[in-house]
Amino acid sequence: MITLSNINKRYLSQSALTDVNMTFPAHGFVSIVGPSGCGKSTLLNIIGGIDHDYQGKIMLDGKEVKSLPGVLRVTMIFQSYHLIHYLSNLHNIHLYDDFHKTKFPDYNNKMMEGFQKVPVTKLSLGQRQRVAILRALYPEPDIILCDEPTASLDAQNKALVMNALKEISHNALVIFVSHDRHLVDEYSDYIYHMEDGEITNTMTCHQQPHQHHPIKRHFHPFAIFRLSVLALKCYKKRFFQMCFYLSLALVSIMLVFTLSFSLRYAILDYIDSMLPKSTISFKGAKATKITKQHNIPRVFYYVDDIELLGLSENGEHYLKNETLFINDETGYTNKVNYGHLISSDDEIILPYNTARKLAGNDSVHQLIGKHFYIYYKYRNLVKGVEVKIAGISMERLSYDAFYQNDQANIKHLKSLFSDNIKCTLGILYYKGNHKKVMKELKKQYPSIQFKIVGEKTKQNMNKTIDKIEFILFLFALIAILSSCFMIGEIMYLFVESHVKDYAIECAYGARRFQLFKQLFYSIIIVVVVGGVVSVNLLYGFVTILNKIVLPKLFTSSFYISIPFMLVSVTLAGVFILVIISALASFLRISHLNVADVLKR
Ligand SMILES: Nc1ncnc2c1ncn2[C@@H]1O[C@H](COP(=O)(O)OP(=O)(O)OP(=O)(O)O)[C@@H](O)[C@H]1O
């Protein structure tokens, strides 16, 4: 037995219900009648658990309950049907299952004969009301609340609905609100009269406890997700708008990241190609103490006050215009394409570009075995040392150089000038981890300074690119924030146009967290679709740039590659931003006034 005790309800300054005391049996057909505005719908909303803002107590079999739908199966039939227009008839009827993970046998499908597959929007009023009634009957309810369910029906449909309700009232409590006194008198077991928010008569019910029928539990893991998909399918325009803005913002931010990422690597690679690999430069009075070791296979000293002037065929004396200026003595090489490898300190190997210049009009092969002079200037003295060209490597350097044995220059300079020449600078080639080698060198030679060649240049370049990237990132962030703002607004409009459907779902047992879940799934779907579209667009852009645009703009092999890690982080970040932008929509749902929305 259900007892309402001292129920009071106010709308601002106006009182809608005053000290309402009522009892209802476990089953039967109870009608509530009264003039318009006397508070009938307000009372049904309180019994149906969609209005919690009241004073008073609701008791079930002598025990106070917070809301009846929490303990009993309560369904509602509204005057304006309140079907969810983007769900099928059957899905509308089974709506209760989506929020309760239940499964009931189908009830009286005869009522749907002839229009089962017709979309809700194409049903006649009578057909809509029949679907609404089947929806209320389907979960074998303990209580059915009917707010003028027959108001817009013809006589035949009225009889059909009333007979169905009467039949179910043998096992459940039917609370029926209507202005149709004839129907009320014909079908009711008991009638309550209301006036100005007060009950004007009393009723004594038999003490009959409510019987709970067993329900078949049916786990439908995607019920809420399916509702989100169907809602997005219905509000396609808003869904596409959200996906469009998101994809646009994502493509722009990911393109910025991809370009700057690829540019950084291209620049660093270029710097790397200009610098000798795995080399450490050193400086100190005792520089010559550094010798070859297992992890330092080569050491090369630069002699102080020495200037390398170049290579000349002329051995008598230095003539500037007959001497090919050499930027560098590059140390040893084991790459030789013509001739042979260096076998003594008096032999050198030429890279192809230098050989080409020295050979003049002749073929470069003819240089092999020829004698040349390396001219050095020490303080004010210029002297040449004779060397033989052992071989030519096909390497093309951007500067002129020659290769010789690592310590050959020291030997030559000592013999040319004096034994006292000093070396305070040099480079060494290491094997293995540079940090470990540096640590060992610093420990072994504490008075000598060591630097990884090119490290500073790379650091400076990295810092410059960081600054450029930061500025680009700020622009991209502005783009993404404004897009998220737009998405938030569209999402809000989507929720606003969807608000009645949420209210119907609440009337059929949806809890707020299930509505939040629906919105959350909608956001996931938008982000996933936006993400997939933008990643594909990005891939397309990058392919076009790599295959068509870049080969025409650059001769070098500059290649753009997509940093997938960065793309994933961007997607995750954008997902969080979209969630934040949808906060207003979540708030709208949390403040949803179900009774109010259903009344509209
Ligand atoms: N959301 C609301 N805000 C302010 N007042 C309201 C609201 N809903 C209902 N009321 C008022 O509360 C009173 C009771 O309304 P209610 O809808 O319960 O009456 P009713 O008996 O169902 O009327 P009807 O038979 O015309 O549907 C009325 O005076 C109405 O104006």
Q: Which residues are paired to 377 by β-bridges?
A: 307, 382
pLDDT digits (tens, 9 = 90+) for 245-258: 899 888 888 888 88
Give the integer Cα–Cα distance in Å for 581 and 493: 13
Indicate whether 226 belongs to any domain: no
Asked if 404 and 341 count as a contact pair (C-beta separation under 8 A), the reply is no
- Segment 327-339 shows an average pLDDT of 81
- Same domain, yes or no: 41 and 161: yes
**Structural domain contains residue 227:** no
Number of alpha helices (DSSP H) and beta strands (DSSP E) in the chain = 18, 24
Closest residue by Cα to atom 18, ligand 1, is 39
Best probe residue, ligand 1, of 7, 18, 40, 45 (max atoms within 8 Å of C-beta)? 40
- The answer to whether residue 229 sits within a structural domain is no
Q: Are residues 377 and 427 both part of a single domain? A: yes
Q: How many distinct structural domains can be found in the chain?
A: 3
Evaluate whether residue 504 is within a structural domain. yes
Task: Encode pLDDT of 560-589 as tens digits.
Answer: 888 888 888 888 988 899 999 999 999 999
In sign, the C-alpha dihedral spanning 79, 85, 87, 90 is positive
- Give the chain's mean pLDDT: 87
Does pLDDT of 431 surpass 80?
Answer: yes
pLDDT for residue 143 is more than 90:
yes
Which ligand 1 atom sits nearest the alpha carbon of residue 38? 21
Q: Which pLDDT belongs to residue 58? A: 93
The amino acid present at 217, given as its one-letter code, is: R
Residue 533 CB partners (closer than 8 Å, separation 6+): 243, 247
pLDDT of residue 380: 85
- Residue 574 covered by a domain: yes
207 pLDDT exceeds 60?
no
Segment 234-246 shows an average pLDDT of 91
The b-or-e profile of 307-323 (16+ CB within 10 A means b, else e) is ebbbbbeeeeebeeeeb
Q: What is the pLDDT of residues 77-127, one digit of tens each?
A: 988 889 999 999 989 999 998 888 787 776 656 677 777 788 888 988 888
**Which residue lies with its CA nearest to atom 24 of ligand 1?**
36
Measured between alpha carbons, how far is 496 from 341 in angstroms, rounded to an integer? 82
32 lies in some domain: yes
Residue 449 has pLDDT above 80, yes or no: yes
What atom of ligand 1 comes closest to residue 45's alpha carbon?
A: 18
Nearest one of 80, 1, 74, 8 to 39, comparing CA atoms:
8
Which of 12, 14, 31, 597 to mutate for ligand 1's pocket (most ligand atoms within 8 Å of CB)? Answer: 14
Percentage of residues in the chain with pLDDT exceeding 90? 40
210-242 in b/e form (b: 16+ CB < 10 A) is beeeeeeeeeeeebbbbbbbebbebbeebbebb
Please answer whether residues 452 and 434 qualify as being in contact, where contact means their C-beta atoms are separated by less than 8 angstroms: yes
* 64 and 208 assigned to the same domain: yes
- Does 262 share its domain with 215? no
Strands (E), 327-446: 328-329, 338-339, 347-351, 371-378, 381-393, 401-402, 423-429
Pocket test for ligand 1, best of 20, 32, 41 (most atoms within 8 A of CB): 41
CATH number at residue 183: 3.40.50.300
CA 426 distance to own-chain centroid: 51
Higher pLDDT, 428 or 330: 428
Q: Are residues 368 and 419 in the same domain?
A: yes
pLDDT digits (tens, 9 = 90+) for 461-510: 889 888 988 888 888 888 888 888 889 999 999 999 989 999 999 999 89
Q: Which residues line ligand 1 (CB under 6 A)?
A: 11, 14, 16, 36-42, 596
Say yes or no: 209 and 252 in one domain. Answer: no
- Is residue 86 a contact partner of residue 230, using CB atoms and an 8 Å limit? yes
User: Ligand 1: distance of its center to the CA of 176 in Å?
Assistant: 17
Ligand 1 centroid – CA 575 distance (Å): 43
- Domain holding 54, by residue range, is 2-220
Asked if 177 and 296 sit in the same domain, the reply is no
In a shared domain, residues 436 and 584: no
Is residue 49 located within the same domain as residue 178?
A: yes
| Rounded Cα distance, 56 and 19, in Å | 8
Same domain, 337 and 470: no
Q: Which residue has the tokens 């009917």?
A: 146
Q: At what angle do helices 564-581 and 512-544 cross, to 10 degrees?
A: 140
**Structure confidence by residue, pLDDT tens digits, 528-563:** 999 999 999 999 999 998 888 888 777 666 788 888
Domain boundary (450, 470, 497) is at 450
Band (pLDDT 50/70/90 cuts) for residue 176 is very high
Asked if pLDDT for residue 204 goes beyond 70, the answer is no
Buried b (16+ CB within 10 A) or exposed e, 102-114: bebeebeeebbee
State the pairing for strand pair 28-33/173-177: parallel
Terminus-to-terminus CA distance in the chain, angstroms? 32
Q: Does 377 reside within a domain? A: yes
The residue-averaged pLDDT of 42-55 equals 91
Domain end among 411, 429, 450: 450
Hey, is 200 helix, strand or coil? coil
Q: Is the dihedral of CA 247, 250, 253, 255 positive or negative?
A: negative
Q: Is the pLDDT of residue 52 over 70?
A: yes
Helices (H), 101-172: 125-137, 155-168
13-27, 212-226, 261-275, 551-565 — which one is most confidently predicted on average?
A: 13-27
How far lies 577's CA from each of 82, 471, 480, in Å?
A: 34, 20, 9
User: How many Å lie between the centroid of ligand 1 and the Cα of residue 116?
Assistant: 35
CA distance 525 to 585: 16
Choose the final residue of a domain: 220, 252, 287: 220
- Cβ(120)–Cβ(85) under 8 Å? yes
Weakest-pLDDT range from 369-383, 473-487, 517-531: 473-487
Ligand 1 pocket test, pick from 20, 36, 42 with the greatest ligand atom count within 8 Å of Cβ, gives 42
Given pLDDT bands bounded at 50, 70 and 90, which one contains residue 42? very high
Q: Are residues 22 and 85 in the same domain?
A: yes
Q: What amino acid is encoded at 249 in this protein? A: A
User: Which protein residue has the closest C-alpha to ligand 1 atom 6?
Assistant: 11
Q: Which atom of ligand 1 is nearest to the CA of 14?
A: 5
Q: What is the mean pLDDT of residues 408-428?
A: 85
406 assigned to some structural domain: yes
Residues 442, 336 share a domain: yes
